Amino acid sequence: MSDQRETLGFQTEVRQLLQLMIHSLYSNKEIFLRELISNASDAADKLRFEALAKPELQDDDADLGISIIVDKDQRTLSVVDNGIGMSRDELIDNLGTIAKSGTAEFLQQMTGDKKHDAHLIGQFGVGFYSAFIVADKVTVESRRAGLDNDAAVRWESEGQGEFTIENIERAERGTRVTLHLKEDEAEFAESFRVESLIRKYSDHIGFPVSLTDQNAEKVEPKIVNSATALWTRSRTDVSDDEYKEFYKHLSHDFSDPLSWSHNRVEGKREYTSLLYIPGTAPFDLWNREAPRGLKLYVQRVFIMDDAEQFLPLYLRFVKGIVDSSDLPLNVSRELLQQNPELATMRNALTRRVLDMLKKLAADKDDYQKLWNEFGQVLKEGLVEDHANKDKLAKLLRFATTHTGKDTQDQSLDDYVGRAAEGQDKIYYILAENYATAISSPHLEQLKSRGLEVLLLTDRIDAWLTDGLSEYEGKTLVDVAREALDLPDDGDGKDQDKLDEDHKALLEKIEAVLSERVESVKVSRRLVDSPACVVAGDQDLNPQVRRMLEASGQKLPESKPILEINVEHPIVGRLSGEADDGRFNALSNIVLDHALLAEGSQLDNPAEYVQRMNEFMLHANGGADNG
């Protein structure tokens, strides 16, 4: 560790973020104060937590609080806390790099369009760096709790490419962040302006926040907030705006939450929870490893961020806090995991969230927004959370042949409500995308009989249908499987009879395609197409197979079943074909097309093209010689 003044460069991502942020967040600039107050409050929380084990850390200055000092003459605003502070190394790490994984990818999504970027950055959370929206220089002086006065550090930067760091003496524990405001941001050195912002951003914080105006007649701190943690107040005393503000403090999200639920549980175990459903998905929702979870307090003392033990993984988008009266103050992640109370709390909190979602589902438009943001992770619930399967199933939304739109907005109840009398199945098709699904030959019969089919095109859907095999007494049926027994065909013919009637043709095709198909059958699901392929009832769905193979898994070979439409003229032509070469080529083409139609890749596309070329040359017989 060196004492001298050093100049260090920001990590590339920080440099990019700073530029983008100053540009795109200008119209939200006052949020810097929320971020700085939130950091100061986190620092006080952390000190209180460390002092549980080492009370001496807090001895010299026991009353935790935050002061904001404005000085109009100097054009500065300072946020001062007596929290945990930072050592030299911590300062370099915390204020010179961004620790979130995926940051580089995230920054690439920025387009330069202010509104778009502001929205993205809002999900990302800008934190400390937002100070540079209004300041052209920021000075941070800090002393880590437990370190000597002369181990304090000063960090300073103009928010361009670099910062300086040097050791200083500092009697006070904690951190002072001083913003040297840009010339046209002098309003943030005006006490009346800043006071209203502090009220807005800190009233729910459990530490006193004071304001001092250096240019006032009497220079003395004035406590501005009520300093009671919001969740400790009674529900009826908290306004919607306060709940929303607290959410923004917790989540660093710019937009309002969709919903929240604030509860106190009393009796055998006592705890308070405040849970929020965000309006937008965080940038790293897809990362199942990203930090997530609730903020845990025990008897109002902050214990940890991202306590993931309280909610299942598929509810990772939920934000909030839990404040327990029963857990020990020294609870660690490991101890928490083993705590016998945990499972009960987790079940109750999960139910709370599902109830919130159910309430939201009553408003179709609101729920659609939620579904678009979080639908895919909710689907993970069907796979992971069997206990809540029924509740989760009601929350699902699908695209279906009924609406014919590429929008997931139909519930299973909608489907069941429309089902014909006596229909004991819910039909679905798995496909790569909406266009492949809606035009799949597998749907032809179902469409012509007016049977609705769910169009499942998300990667997770194959697992979803494994987890959800029936709903309200109706079995979910994959329309691309062998045994699709449609209700009462009306033609009085059963499969065996049909296959028997066309035995010669089926055997002839089977002989030609024996390398490529398991068997050939007469189809009862086609109307307009000559053929389709289906999976045997024990085989993997082809969609699942493609996904597994794409992810590098080696699977045992399995051949599809080819179904042919004996009413179709192409099949008619096949059965009248006397030339063996042409019969062979045509059979292969029929199979190739069936595979292409379901979204499969051909094993040998070049061979297909060659066959097709040959076929096109000779298809007209002697016609073009004429």
- Beta carbon of residue 126, minimum distance to Mg ion (angstroms, whole number): 9
Q: Where are the beta strands (DSSP E) in 479-607?
A: 519-522, 531-534, 561-564
Q: Is 127 in the site for Mg ion (CB under 5 A)?
A: yes
Q: Is 599 in the site for ligand ADP (CB under 6 A)?
A: no
Q: What are phi and psi of 123, to 5 degrees?
A: -75, -25
Burial of 537 (C-beta count, 10 Å sphere; 0-12/13-18/19+)? exposed
Q: Is 40 in the site for ligand ADP (CB under 6 A)?
A: yes
Residue closest to 541 by CA, chosen among 447, 446, 451, 437: 437
Q: Where are the beta strands (DSSP E) in 403-502?
A: 425-430, 453-456, 470-471, 474-478
Quote the tokens at residue 447.
């469409």
- Beta carbon of residue 472, minimum distance to ligand ADP (angstroms, whole number): 45
Q: Is 401 in the site for Mg ion (CB under 5 A)?
A: no
- Beta carbon of residue 83, minimum distance to ligand ADP (angstroms, whole number): 5
Q: How many residues bind ligand ADP (CB under 6 A)?
A: 15
- Pick one of Mg ion, ligand ADP, none as the site partner of residue 81 (Cβ within 5 to 8 A by kind): ligand ADP
Segment contacting ligand ADP by CB under 6 A, of 124-132, 308-316, 363-371, 435-443: 124-132
Q: Is 84 in the site for ligand ADP (CB under 6 A)?
A: yes
Residue sitting closest to Mg ion (CB): 127
- Which residue of 67, 94, 202, 541 would you call a contact of ligand ADP, by CB under 6 A? 94
- Which residue of 24, 39, 410, 465 would you call a contact of Mg ion, by CB under 5 A? 39
Strand order in the sheet with 76-81: 6-9, 162-168, 152-157, 135-143, 174-181, 76-81, 66-71, 209-213, 222-223
Q: Alpha carbon of 496 to those of 500, 567, 613: distances in Å? A: 6, 17, 36
Residue closest to 188 by CA, chosen among 131, 240, 235, 260: 131
Q: Is 39 in the site for ligand ADP (CB under 6 A)?
A: yes
Contact 437, 457 (CB under 8 A): yes
Q: Is 178 in the site for Mg ion (CB under 5 A)?
A: no
Segment contacting ligand ADP by CB under 6 A, of 48-56, 121-129, 227-235, 341-349: 121-129
41 vs 388, which CB is nearer to ligand ADP?
A: 41
- Pick one of Mg ion, ligand ADP, none as the site partner of residue 125 (Cβ within 5 to 8 A by kind): ligand ADP
Please identify which residue in the block is written with the tokens 């599902």: 354
Q: Alpha carbon of 302 to those of 224, 257, 280: distances in Å? A: 22, 23, 26
293 vs 312, which CB is nearer to Mg ion?
A: 293
- Pick one of ligand ADP, Mg ion, none as the site partner of residue 175 (Cβ within 5 to 8 A by kind): ligand ADP
- Beta carbon of residue 310, minimum distance to ligand ADP (angstroms, whole number): 20
Residue sitting closest to ligand ADP (CB): 127
Q: Is 284 in the site for ligand ADP (CB under 6 A)?
A: no
Burial of 437 (C-beta count, 10 Å sphere; 0-12/13-18/19+)? buried
Contact 169, 152 (CB under 8 A): yes
Q: Is 16 in the site for ligand ADP (CB under 6 A)?
A: no
- Which residue of 83, 122, 312, 441 would you call a contact of ligand ADP, by CB under 6 A? 83
- Pick one of ligand ADP, Mg ion, none as the site partner of residue 445 (Cβ within 5 to 8 A by kind): none
Q: Is 81 in the site for ligand ADP (CB under 6 A)?
A: yes
DSSP structure string for 295-358 = EEEETTEEEEEEEGGGS-GGGTT-EEEEEESSS-TT--HHHHHH-HHHHHHHHHHHHHHHHHHH
31 vs 451, which CB is nearer to ligand ADP?
A: 31
- Beta carbon of residue 21, minimum distance to ligand ADP (angstroms, whole number): 11
Contact 178, 138 (CB under 8 A): yes
What angle is formed at CA 39 by the lines to CA 35 and CA 42, rounded to 5 degrees?
135
- Beta carbon of residue 267, minimum distance to ligand ADP (angstroms, whole number): 35
Q: Is 41 in the site for Mg ion (CB under 5 A)?
A: no
155 vs 260, which CB is nearer to ligand ADP?
A: 155
Segment contacting Mg ion by CB under 5 A, of 120-128, 184-192, 211-219, 306-314: 120-128
- Beta carbon of residue 117, minimum distance to Mg ion (angstroms, whole number): 20
16 vs 388, which CB is nearer to ligand ADP?
A: 16
Q: Is 14 in the site for ligand ADP (CB under 6 A)?
A: no
- Interatomic CA distance for residues 132 and 21, integer angstroms: 9
- Beta carbon of residue 38, minimum distance to ligand ADP (angstroms, whole number): 7
Instruction: Return the C-alpha torsion angle 88, 93, 95, 96, nearest 10.
Output: 110
For the chain, the first-to-last Cα distance in angstroms comes to 94
Site for ligand ADP in 158-197 (CB under 6 A): 175
- Interatomic CA distance for residues 223 and 60, integer angstroms: 22
97 vs 584, which CB is nearer to ligand ADP?
A: 97
- Which residue of 13, 19, 96, 128 would you call a contact of ligand ADP, by CB under 6 A? 128
Residue closest to 150 by CA, chosen among 164, 171, 174: 171
Q: Is 86 in the site for ligand ADP (CB under 6 A)?
A: yes
- Beta carbon of residue 127, minimum distance to Mg ion (angstroms, whole number): 4
Residue closest to 37 by CA, chosen among 295, 331, 249, 238: 249
Judged by the rule CB under 5 A, the positions of this chain that interact with Mg ion are 39, 127
Residues at the site binding ligand ADP, with contacts judged by CB under 6 A: 35, 39-40, 43, 81, 83-86, 94-95, 125, 127-128, 175
